[in-house]
Amino acid sequence: MRREPPVAGDSARVSVLIRRTPEDTFRLFTEEIDRWWRRGQRYRLGKDRTVVHLEPKLGGRMFEQFEVNGTSRVVETGRITAWEPPLRLVIAWRSVAFAPDETTEVEVRFVASPTGTMVTVIHSGWTRIRPDHPARHGQAVPAFLRTLGLFWGDLMTTLRELAVSERPNA
């Protein structure tokens, strides 16, 4: 399927080199998402004991599970629209502030290199979201995309740190 290139002001792109095979890097990204997805209000909805989960299949959900006043809540933040291990993953992502028909797209590519795997995250589709939407935090397009790039850069840094801290599977 041929995709149109993103419109200016539509996407943020971040890349990080992980010194692992594409297979192991894809596994870390998908199966260990709760370990590398940073904690705190900037990155997660729940304050305490929040778990980020990704169901590893086409149509699988990305969601957070946490407790509010002793009651467990599950909030879906995405659906997997492409599942191509170990090369590519696409998530129809949505902010909790989005209307039911509003989504953006997070595409993650895993490309083998001589020294490991280049992971590239492209978060696009923001032209479909109105400029004054609360998810943009009142920022003009350039500032918002910079903030979004920093958000994903922080997350990919934590993924790289996890990859360095533990040995690959044999």
138-160 burial: b if 16+ Cβ within 10 Å, else e: eeeeeebbeebbebbeebbebbb
The letter for the amino acid at 84 is: E
pLDDT at 70: 81
For the chain, give the mean pLDDT.
Answer: 89
The letter for the amino acid at 74 is: V
Residue 42 above 90 pLDDT?
Answer: no
Nearest to 119 by CA among 5, 7, 38, 27: 27
pLDDT at 45: 75
Residue 54 above 90 pLDDT?
Answer: yes
Query: In a 3-state reduction of DSSP, which class is residue 20?
Result: coil
Q: What's the predicted TM-score (pTM) here?
A: 0.89
Domain 12-165 annotated CATH 3.10.580.10? no
How far is residue 167's CA from residue 169's CA, in Å, rounded to a whole number?
A: 7
pLDDT at 8: 58
Nearest to 77 by CA among 88, 67, 66, 92: 92
For 68-87, write each residue's pLDDT tens digit.
888 888 999 999 999 999 99
Highest mean pLDDT pick, 47-51, 87-91, 123-127, 145-149: 87-91
Mean pLDDT of 32-51: 83
